[in-house]
Amino acid sequence: MNVAAHEAPSSGFHFRSARATIGAGWNAIVSIRSAEWTWALLIALFGILVQCALMLGESKPSIPTLDLIPVFEQAVISWITQVCLGLCAWAIVDRSAVPTERRAAWLAIALVIAVLAQVALVSALSDLMIGRIDPCVFYECDHKDMSKVPSWLMYSEASGRMLILGSLAFAWLEARRRNCEIERRLLASQQERASLQRSALDARLTAMRAQVDPQFLFESLADVQALYGTDAARGAAALDSLIVYLRTALPRLRTEGSTIGAEAALLDSWLAVLAARRNGVPARSIEIEPDCAGAPFPATVLLPLVQWAVGDGARPASQVRLQVGKLSGEGAGALTARLQVQPGRACSADETQPQRLRERLQAIYGEAAVLNCECVPAVNSAADASGDMVTVCWPDERAERDRR
């Protein structure tokens, strides 16, 4: 009884294992794409045409071409069976979780099994559909009796052909698969490298922001103290503006990304502190299209750009205007930020700070990022001062994600 008790679970396990194997093989065959079937049938068609041409050249001159139709039909059956069995054998191994180092052995085993199946299947289908063909009727056999030769042996040439061509096809498919795998890994490595470079850049930007903010803070506190000594109301207003700026800036030290709306809010609070320190100068105007405020934008780019454009106070700017919107036409899918500072510092795109900020943008967005500076001449030299126009363009990552 104990022996029977052990044999029953064992037989059940083997049955389930066999059923799972058959199911996996069937799923692999079903997963063959239409393009793969198309290529297989094109190969079969080419083989049929070549074999039929050879048959016409080797047949007896006295045999009419129409009498060779059964031989042509046998060639069709043979080639279609070969390519279908070969494709199924390759798909079963390709879709299975066979380790790379063992794929060659499994492919060889699958090909041998497919060849053996082809021997039996072609013989059976040919006898069933067109009957037994005596080759001596069509070809010179030197008076040999071929009637007693088994059908499967008659098609041994097709088996050898399938073995050779199948080996070549499997080798080509494996080489193609490995090339695709190498390209996929290379692309993943490049993407990981780009991600690491971007993370390193964000870390450097955060470190730079932590270094710049204390200097501005100490200068602002000194100005607030001086204002309290002369005008308590102005000192209180300057302190309130500084508190708003710190509430906006400090939480951002712990974040990696940002948006153009958040950067504009930080810029607005910074300009408010600067205006409180400089008796209301510069006047500021920030305009952002509603659907652009949430667009991703790197931190520590917009504020340093404005700090550089405004200058150190030797020639203080009286007006700062920022406009953010979408580009249209050829630039569709990109955003633009236009910064106008008046009076300007006669800026140039070749200066150190614009170059550094341009490099940061291009490190993130590539050549799609643009930063240009130009000096806008005064309309009336007697009444107006020349200004600076700084234009920043960068791709909208939200649009790229939507397309994917």
Strands annotated E in 265-361: 283-288, 319-326, 334-342
Query: What are the structure tokens assigned to 85, written together?
Result: 């069995």
Whether this model's pTM surpasses 0.75: no
Reported as a pLDDT band with limits 50, 70 and 90, residue 207 is low
Question: What is the distance of C-alpha 243 from the center of its chain?
Answer: 44
Distance CA 241, CA 224 (A): 10
The whole-number pLDDT of residue 11 equals: 58
The 8-class DSSP code of residue 292 comes to G
What DSSP letter does each residue of 84-115 carry, written as one string?
HHHHHHHHHHHHS---GGGHHHHHHHHHHHHH
The model's pLDDT over 295-336, given as tens digits with 9 standing for 90+, comes to 888 877 888 888 888 876 556 788 899 999 988 766 567 899
Cα gap 250→295, rounded to integer Å: 21
State pLDDT tens for residues 64-77. Answer: 767 677 778 888 88
Give residue 335's identity as a one-letter amino acid code.
L
Q: How confident is the model at residue 383 (pLDDT cuts 50, 70, 90)?
A: very low
Compute the distance between CA of residue 360 and CA of residue 396 in angstroms, rounded to an integer. 16
Query: Architecture of 281-403 per CATH?
Result: 2-Layer Sandwich (3.30)
Q: Where are the domains of the chain?
A: 1-27, 31-189, 281-403
Reading the block at residue 350, the tokens are 């070749």
Confidence of residue 382 (pLDDT cuts 50, 70, 90): very low
Q: What average pLDDT is seen over the chain?
A: 76
Whole-angstrom distance, CA of residue 404 vs CA of residue 400: 6
Please tell me the distance from the alpha carbon of residue 43 to that of residue 45, in angstroms, as a whole number.
5
- Choose between 11 and 394: higher pLDDT: 394
